[in-house]
Amino acid sequence: MRFSLHPLAQEELEQAILFYQKQQAGLEKRFIEAVDDAINRVCRNPLLYRKIDNKTSSTLLNPSIA
């Protein structure tokens, strides 16, 4: 399955990466891994996740990256 991020979501992702980078060395890597994992889960099983429209599904990240 193919995925893409909305431009605003991409911008928010980049801001979040910078935020975590400033919080603790290496924390941004854990955040990126969590995002990658979430994207992979949705791509593998898109029907398990909330559908926003015909092309869009969503999921939450694991909040325990800190």
Q: Which residues are CB-neighbours of 35 under 8 A, at least 6 positions away? A: 13, 61
Side chain identity at 43, as an amino acid letter?
Answer: C
Tens digits of residue pLDDT in 40-64: 988 888 888 777 777 776 777 765 6
Cα separation, 27 vs 6, whole angstroms = 24
What the block records as the tokens of 47 is 């029907």
**Residue ranges of domains in the chain:** 7-58
What residue ranges in 1-66 does DSSP mark as E strands? Answer: 50-53, 56-58
Checking if the pLDDT of 8 tops 70, the result is yes
How big is the chain by its Cα radius of gyration, in Å? 13
pTM for the predicted model, two decimal places: 0.78
Q: Given this model, what pLDDT does residue 65 score?
A: 57
